Amino acid sequence: MLNVIIPVYNESGTIEEVIKRVDSVPIEKEIIIVDDCSTDGTRDILKRLEISHQKLKVIYHERNMGKGAALRTGFEHVADGIVIIQDADFEYDPSEYPKLIKPILDGKADVVYGSRFAGGE
């Protein structure tokens, strides 16, 4: 199974769309969102979405602890499988998940890194 960890902090303008795009990728997945004590309404949006979205697991930090702490919290909630980190500001395109995880599924890699600086495949 694919586990997508999305650390968020004050992402009210993009969080619904990023969840929609991640959810639309045709791979069985769980979406793990760690809200790092947002103050801009992101928490309200997430509370509404987690009621109706079965693939969504939301964890709320009670105080802002930074992206690294949010990622560690997310990793603690991964049961098994492949993990992808998705920023809530669309730095990465969820439609590229199949291409990203293919070397792992083919047994050719244990880990794959994507980079916007690498210049292509």
Q: Could you write out the DSSP letters of every residue in the chain?
A: -EEEEEEESS-TTTHHHHHHHHHHSSS-EEEEEEE----SSHHHHHHHHHHH-TTEEEEE-SS---HHHHHHHHHHT--SSEEEE--TT-SS-GGGHHHHHHHHHTTS-S-----TTS---
Per-residue pLDDT tens over the stretch 49-91: 999 888 899 999 999 999 999 999 999 999 899 999 999 988 8
- Here the tokens at position 45 are 């949006």
Q: Which CATH superfamily is 2-105 part of?
A: Spore Coat Polysaccharide Biosynthesis Protein SpsA; Chain A (3.90.550.10)
Q: Where are the domains of the chain?
A: 2-105
Residue 121 has what pLDDT?
Answer: 63
The pTM assigned to this predicted structure is: 0.93
- 114 pLDDT band, cuts 50/70/90, is confident
